[in-house]
Amino acid sequence: MAPVSVFSASDIELGFHAFSDPLRLQVLELLKQRELCVCELCAALEVPQSKLSFHLKALKTANLVKSYQEGRWTYYSLNLNQFLRLEQYLAEFRRYGDIVPARRCDDDL
Amino acid sequence: MAPVSVFSASDIELGFHAFSDPLRLQVLELLKQRELCVCELCAALEVPQSKLSFHLKALKTANLVKSYQEGRWTYYSLNLNQFLRLEQYLAEFRRYGDIVPARRCDDDL
DNA sequence: GTAGCATATCAATATAAATTGATGAGTAAA
DNA sequence: TTTACTCATCAATTTATATTGATATGCTAC
């Protein structure tokens, strides 16, 4: 099996999984503009708080967002480093340049 | 809600979802090197054919791979355009540069 | 034609992820 | 020091995805 360069598979998987849900995408879009607390996100997206909390946890686990608490509020923001890592993972595929055609599958070695 | 630039949400979602599975990642890694037919992938990954077929379909639906048939064989290869699209989607987030701190959530407008 | 191979699809099941409503922990204002 | 508020977590349920084994389709060599 081909070695997977510097990326840990599960790390990448987690990251992309976090991107594969409409609500989580909306959250990320909102955080693009600026840091927001949970109650602001909740209001903007019109979803129950426990639902949002679930998805924020997914984003956090995937390292796509960071958060800190201040008084009663918890503020979330993008962790752009991780965005860059995923971007680089994708970019690696293109570095190989054009597609090498298959050897006919029944050819000898 | 913030407009989502030129990307259709479901398109992006599908693409990232396809990336969020270990077997699909392995398939992509193998196709990085060159075009392969299903039976080659099957042998390399040591998975049942119907399982592989299921995941190839997911990759195809997400536009990450293309395929063509030749005789009895079906050859798969990366669709690098779609990789680029996903990369660009991620890159957009970083274009905003540094994180704007939150307004205190209980401040007046 | 018929036999064998490559692949896709299907129905049944198993597994994983998301949703809901309720509860609990921490904070701070009254 | 009680009350209200923000948020995370939990158990129960629903929904979505993946896996399996079997079967169907289409191609080709015989």
Per-residue tokens: A48? 């129950």
CB B90 within 8 A of CB A86: yes
If one compares B103 and B16, the residue with the highest pLDDT of the two is B16
Interface of A with B in 4-33 (CB under 8 A): 4, 9-10, 12-14, 16-17, 19-22, 25-26, 28-30, 32-33
CB A102 within 8 A of CB B35: yes
Q: What are the chain B neighbours of A82 within 8 Å (beta carbons)?
A: none
Position A10 scores a pLDDT of: 84
Cα B84 to Cα A34, B34, B75, B89, B91, distances in angstroms = 26, 18, 22, 9, 10
B1 touches chain A (CB under 8 A): yes
CB A37 within 8 A of CB A48: no
The C1' atom of C1 and the CA atom of A105 lie apart, in whole Å, by: 27
DSSP B78-97: E-HHHHHHHHHHHHHHHHT-
Position A3 scores a pLDDT of: 40
B37 touches chain A (CB under 8 A): yes
Position B2 scores a pLDDT of: 39
Tens-place pLDDT, residues B29-62 = 999 999 999 999 999 999 999 999 999 999 999 9
Phi and psi for A66 in degrees, rounded to 5? -120, 165
Cα B23 to Cα A28, A69, A79, B5, B43, distances in angstroms = 27, 38, 27, 31, 13
Domains of chain A, with CATH numbers? 9-91 (1.10.10.10)
Count of alpha carbons within 13 angstroms of residue A3, beta-carbon side: 2
Tens-place pLDDT, residues A6-24 = 566 588 999 999 999 999 9
For chain A, list residues with pLDDT below 50. 1-5, 108-109
Q: Contacts from B9-13 at CB under 8 Å and sequence distance 24+?
A: B9/A22, B9/A25, B10/A22, B11/B63, B12/A19, B12/A25, B12/B86, B12/B89, B13/A19, B13/A20, B13/A21, B13/A22, B13/A25
The C1' atom of C29 and the CA atom of A68 lie apart, in whole Å, by: 22
- Is the ipTM higher than 0.90? The answer is no
